[in-house]
């Protein structure tokens, strides 16, 4: 690969999040759904989350790793920051039922561990299901932190709870030298 395998990385993240891919510590199919593109309104996110929790991964930062060889080398290492956003709906009933609301908040809280285990297990992100290498060193992400926010009434008294889970990794590319 001459450049970062950006497409393979995005594909593999989706496979692990939605399709139970990986060697061990996988996420069960149906735990997270797709259909959560960036830039959607809270209303659209709530509509998508009616079927179940939605998840979307985004590479939010790319920078040259301090240990990367000189620019004219045939290998380069990059530090990537990855955000996985999970959205769940908090129904009108849950808004007024303490135990239902607590159950939804607990699932959102648990997502941090589910994601950390699947994305942080060595080899789970080495290559796509089709065999395309991602270039992610050790085939894993390192968990950084998670943050949650409940946002306004969006559909018939329902709201959404959105969690952002942040990870880092090192990815390798092999730039051309001639």
Report the mean per-residue pLDDT for the chain.
89
Instruction: Reply yes or no on whether the pLDDT at 85 is more than 70.
Output: yes
Q: Are the C-beta atoms of 92 and 157 separated by less than 8 Å?
A: yes
Does the pLDDT value for residue 175 go beyond 60? yes
Average pLDDT over residues 138-167: 88
Q: Is the pTM of this model over 0.85?
A: yes
pLDDT over threshold 60, residue 1: no
Q: Provide the residue ranges of all domains of the chain, joining segments of one domain with +.
A: 6-173
| pLDDT reading at 73 higher than 70 | yes
Torsion sign (Cα): 16, 123, 110, 41:
negative
Q: Using an 8 Å Cβ cutoff, are 94 and 159 in contact? A: no
Q: Hey, what are 29's tokens? A: 């199919």
Q: Rounded mean pLDDT of 48-65? A: 87
Q: What is the pLDDT of residue 50?
A: 65
| pLDDT band at 69; cut points 50, 70, 90 | confident
CATH for 6-173 (3.30.2000, 3.30.420, 3.40.50, 2.40.30): 3.30.2000
Query: In the prediction, which pLDDT does 40 show?
Result: 65
């Amino acid at each position: 690969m001459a450049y970062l395998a950006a497409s393979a990385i995005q594909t593999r993240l989706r496979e692990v999040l939605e399709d139970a891919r990986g060697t061990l510590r996988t996420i069960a199919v149906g735990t997270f759904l797709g259909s959560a593109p960036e830039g959607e309104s809270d209303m659209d996110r709530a509509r998508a989350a009616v079927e179940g929790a939605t998840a979307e991964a985004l590479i939010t930062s790319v920078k040259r790793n301090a240990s990367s060889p000189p620019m004219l080398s045939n290998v380069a290492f990059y530090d990537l920051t990855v955000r996985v956003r999970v959205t769940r709906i908090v129904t009108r009933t849950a808004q007024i039922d303490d135990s239902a609301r607590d159950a939804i908040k607990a699932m959102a809280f648990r997502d941090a561990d589910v994601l950390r285990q699947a994305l942080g297990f060595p080899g789970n992100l080495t290559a796509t299901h089709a065999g395309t290498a991602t270039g992610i060193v050790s085939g894993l992400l390192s968990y950084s932190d998670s943050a949650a926010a409940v946002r306004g009434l969006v559909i018939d008294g329902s709201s959404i709870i959105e969690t952002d889970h942040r990870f880092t990794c090192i990815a390798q590319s092999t730039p051309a030298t001639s």
